[in-house]
Chains A and B, each alone.
Chain A
Amino acid sequence: MPRLIPVLRANQVSFRYPQEGHGLEPVSLEIAPGELTLVTGPSGCGKSTLARCLMGLIPHLYHGELTGEVWLNGYRTSDASMWQLAEKAGMVFQNPAAQMLAPSVEDEIIFGLENLGLPPEEITSRLENVLQDFNLTHLRQRNPQTLSGGEQQRLALAAIMARQPQALILDEPLSMLDTTAAGDLIAYLQRFAAEGKTLIVFEHRQEYLDDVPGLRHIALEGKAKEERKVPSANPLPAQESFRLEVENLGVQLGGRIVLQNLNLSLDSGQILVVVGRNGVGKTTLLRSLAGLQKHSGSAKVVTVRGEQPPNLGMVFQNPDLQLFNASVRDEILYRLPRPDMAYYRWLVAALGLQPYEATPPLLLSEGEKKRLALGLVLMRRPAHGVLLDEPSLGQDHAHKDILVHMLRMLADAGQLVMMTTHDLTLASQADRLILLGPEGLLADGPTASVLEDDSAWAKAGIALPNWFLREHKTGGSG
């Protein structure tokens, strides 16, 4: 095959942000038209920075020191205007909700077409085509902020593809999506690749792309932050066992029934995972157990000595909601009258936060922030355990390992650990799996046996992907 002129060419490109810390070590790469490229690398290696260099957002929107050069379709990114580069390449970002900028689905697509300077007739025809292609026609008048994450990511892709760029750069497009939505998005990407578009996907959930034919894989090394060895000794005092009894739990939000007649009997000393598609009430269940949500029915802790209301700490999905202190240490110890400093030191080490005790929380990586949010809940020693909402969303394996290790120690000490997740790999490490569907409880039992229950997964609307079945299912049709 004759060598094609590359669409994208990076020549020893590196970048340093004005503040110390992250950046990108020199990288060279060439991407030919029609290629589907996957770029992987550990968190902190500069994937996101490289994506922005290729798109030209660096140096146009960022201060810092750029060396080397990037050529995008004949333009050197540092010389061309941002809008010229945006006509050649499009970019889809990690957080589906944060890139929505118009009042309706239609306007979201029109925005990019107006910027191309197209006449109204052309805009109309491209709009209709793209709405149809991406199965968005029935949503056209909806406010993008009310769509699910999967629909939003599809819309983001549609808004870019309507502009008909030659190359498409995707910065961790799957990390906030559930399994089914991630599978859908991959199907679209494969279609574009088949049509001869150039695609570059920066993603650490590479297992989703394993089956894509003709995939080129680039692994970035960079200087990943070294994760400290986690202490193995478990100083948590063993707790007497209890059961959390949930009876007829029901929640209505704005007239809509989110949960109804939910009955669960949960033993302490276990890691429980709640799985289900968006909107089935996973987070609402956690909020109810944490006492943050008004509900009907009851939830109580039963021990040999009697009953009491549950005291469970809640760890929220977005750590930025809580962090406001000057250092990790201040954040964890905020307003604690007589903190147990021995416990504090163990906690910080076990969460892999020891090197950052004096670091301002906002400068931590997302994974570190998530562990800090867990730490400040654990420091308050909730009597019965913790509830975690999507603790691994958008995180890499190093974070998940520390997290699971910590949760296992809590469970071993007799606490109840309950989390929601879209991440099937994480879910498969739990002791018990609760599968929720729109109509309520679909399956509840030991993780391995629920994973075998094909009809329950079908009812939940979750297609277990092939890579997952290969790893986790022994028998069955797969």
Chain B
Amino acid sequence: MKPRSFSTFHLILLALFSALVIVAKIALRTPLQLPGHSGIFWMAIIVIGAKVVHKPGAASIIGITSGLLAGFLGLGDFGALNTFLSYAMVGVASDLLLWLLGGDTEILIVAILVGIFGHMGKFLTKWVFGVITGAPLGFVALGLLRSIIGYIVFGAVGGLLGWLTLKALRRAGFFAYLAEKR
């Protein structure tokens, strides 16, 4: 039998992490309306998922699966296509950067960069969507700069939270628990 890139356990784990992304996103509704605030838990889960299932493509699977979930749940204001693509892009962009940086999100700087870059993937999707429909004029007027800063900050904070969580998980014996599972 050909060795599979992802074991069944890994796929199930990534699927549940994707559901966790959605749960965290809904849990984090805030009256402050800062652009991109949901990135805190979102990027944290991607950073954690990429370490727990240490294989290229893990972040993309989380992105695509959570995008499909979000589509069925009707999340996002610009319709299911936009929602799906921006969620998927978060994963793909994170994977791309992980591939360039060597893939270990237990290194603080990697975790934070993945947080920022992955989150910017979502922002770019929304932006490109605007460009295609010819709408960016409006977006510029509505504060492009504020959005970019929001996305970068919350992406970085998400990366930081992911890194801190990984560190806590390591100390709490989580990786020993994981090591016995195929």
Interface class of chain A by DSSP: loop
Pairwise interchain contact A362-B180, C-beta atoms closer than 8 A: no
Measured CA separation A276–B181 after assembly (Å)? 38
Pairwise interchain contact A326-B171, C-beta atoms closer than 8 A: yes
Measured CA separation A61–B179 after assembly (Å)? 11
Q: Specify which chain A residues have a CB less than 8 angstroms from the CB of B174 in the assembled complex.
A: 362
Known: A324-B168, A326-B168. A362 touches B181 (CB 8 A): no
Contact residues of A between 359 and 376, Cβ < 8 Å to B: 359-363
Pairwise interchain contact B179-A19, C-beta atoms closer than 8 A: yes
Pairwise interchain contact B168-A61, C-beta atoms closer than 8 A: no
User: Quick check: is A249 within 8 A (CB to CB) of the other chain?
Assistant: no
Pairwise interchain contact B179-A63, C-beta atoms closer than 8 A: yes
User: Quick check: is A62 within 8 A (CB to CB) of the other chain?
Assistant: yes
Known: A324-B168, A325-B172. A362 touches B177 (CB 8 A): yes
Q: Specify which chain A residues have a CB less than 8 angstroms from the CB of B177 in the assembled complex.
A: 362-363
Pairwise interchain contact A362-B179, C-beta atoms closer than 8 A: no
Pairwise interchain contact A18-B172, C-beta atoms closer than 8 A: no
Chain B residue at minimal CB-CB distance from A81: B1
Known: A324-B168, A326-B168. A18 touches B180 (CB 8 A): yes
Pairwise interchain contact B176-A363, C-beta atoms closer than 8 A: yes
Q: Specify which chain B residues have a CB less than 8 angstroms from the CB of A62 in the assembled complex.
A: 180-182
Q: Specify which chain B residues have a CB less than 8 angstroms from the CB of A19 in the assembled complex.
A: 176, 179-180
Pairwise interchain contact A363-B173, C-beta atoms closer than 8 A: yes
Contact residues of B between 153 and 182, Cβ < 8 Å to A: 168, 171-174, 176-177, 179-182
Known: A324-B168, A326-B168. A17 touches B180 (CB 8 A): yes
Chain B interfacial residues counted at CB < 8 A: 12
Q: Specify which chain B residues have a CB less than 8 angstroms from the CB of A360 in the assembled complex.
A: 171-173
Query: How close is A247's CB to chain B, nearest CB, in angstroms?
Result: 34
User: Quick check: is A323 within 8 A (CB to CB) of the other chain?
Assistant: yes
Interface class of chain B by DSSP: helix
Measured CA separation A17–B181 after assembly (Å)? 10
Pairwise interchain contact B180-A63, C-beta atoms closer than 8 A: yes
Which residue in A17, A63, A324 is a CB contact (below 8 Å) of B182?
Answer: A63
Pairwise interchain contact A362-B172, C-beta atoms closer than 8 A: yes
Chain B residue at minimal CB-CB distance from A64: B180
Query: Which interface residue of B174, B176, B177 has the most chain A CB atoms within 10 A?
Result: B176
Q: Specify which chain A residues have a CB less than 8 angstroms from the CB of B173 in the assembled complex.
A: 359-363
Chain B residue at minimal CB-CB distance from A360: B173
Which residue in B9, B168, B171, B179 is a CB contact (below 8 Å) of A18?
Answer: B179
Query: How close is B141's CB to chain A, nearest CB, in angstroms?
Result: 44
Measured CA separation A18–B9 after assembly (Å)? 18
Contact residues of A between 59 and 109, Cβ < 8 Å to B: 60-64
Q: Specify which chain B residues have a CB less than 8 angstroms from the CB of A323 in the assembled complex.
A: 172
Q: Specify which chain B residues have a CB less than 8 angstroms from the CB of A326 in the assembled complex.
A: 168, 171-172
Measured CA separation A17–B180 after assembly (Å)? 6
Measured CA separation A63–B181 after assembly (Å)? 6
Query: Interface readout for A1-44 with B: 1 if CB under 8 Å, 0 if not?
Result: 00000000000000001110000000000000000000000000
Q: Specify which chain B residues have a CB less than 8 angstroms from the CB of A324 in the assembled complex.
A: 168, 172
Q: Specify which chain A residues have a CB less than 8 angstroms from the CB of B179 in the assembled complex.
A: 18-19, 63
Q: Specify which chain A residues have a CB less than 8 angstroms from the CB of B168 in the assembled complex.
A: 324-326
Chain B residue at minimal CB-CB distance from A58: B180
Chain B residue at minimal CB-CB distance from A327: B171
Measured CA separation A62–B177 after assembly (Å)? 11
Chain B residue at minimal CB-CB distance from A62: B180
Query: How close is A234's CB to chain B, nearest CB, in angstroms?
Result: 32
Query: How close is B121's CB to chain A, nearest CB, in angstroms?
Result: 29
Q: Specify which chain A residues have a CB less than 8 angstroms from the CB of B171 in the assembled complex.
A: 325-326, 360
Measured CA separation A360–B171 after assembly (Å)? 7
Pairwise interchain contact B180-A361, C-beta atoms closer than 8 A: no
Query: How close is B30's CB to chain A, nearest CB, in angstroms?
Result: 22
Pairwise interchain contact B172-A361, C-beta atoms closer than 8 A: yes
Query: How close is A334's CB to chain B, nearest CB, in angstroms?
Result: 12
Q: Specify which chain A residues have a CB less than 8 angstroms from the CB of B180 in the assembled complex.
A: 17-19, 62-64
Query: How close is A70's CB to chain B, nearest CB, in angstroms?
Result: 18
Contact residues of B between 2 and 19, Cβ < 8 Å to A: 9
Query: How close is A41's CB to chain B, nearest CB, in angstroms?
Result: 21
Query: How close is A143's CB to chain B, nearest CB, in angstroms?
Result: 15
Q: Specify which chain B residues have a CB less than 8 angstroms from the CB of A362 in the assembled complex.
A: 172-174, 177
Pairwise interchain contact A61-B172, C-beta atoms closer than 8 A: no
Measured CA separation A361–B169 after assembly (Å)? 11
Measured CA separation A63–B182 after assembly (Å)? 6
Measured CA separation A325–B171 after assembly (Å)? 8
Measured CA separation A36–B61 after assembly (Å)? 45
Would you give 29 A-B contacts (Cβ < 8 Å), ordered by A?
A17-B180, A18-B179, A18-B180, A19-B179, A19-B180, A61-B9, A61-B181, A61-B182, A62-B181, A63-B179, A63-B181, A63-B182, A64-B180, A323-B172, A324-B168, A325-B168, A325-B171, A325-B172, A326-B171, A359-B173, A360-B171, A360-B172, A360-B173, A361-B172, A362-B172, A362-B173, A362-B177, A363-B173, A363-B176
Task: With A324-B168, A362-B173 given, name 17 new contacts (CB 8 A).
Answer: A17-B180, A18-B179, A19-B179, A61-B181, A61-B182, A62-B180, A62-B181, A62-B182, A63-B179, A64-B180, A325-B172, A326-B168, A326-B171, A326-B172, A360-B171, A361-B173, A363-B177
Complex A-B, nearest 10 residue pairs according to Cβ-Cβ distance, in ascending order: A360-B173, A326-B171, A363-B173, A362-B173, A19-B176, A360-B172, A17-B180, A362-B172, A61-B182, A63-B180
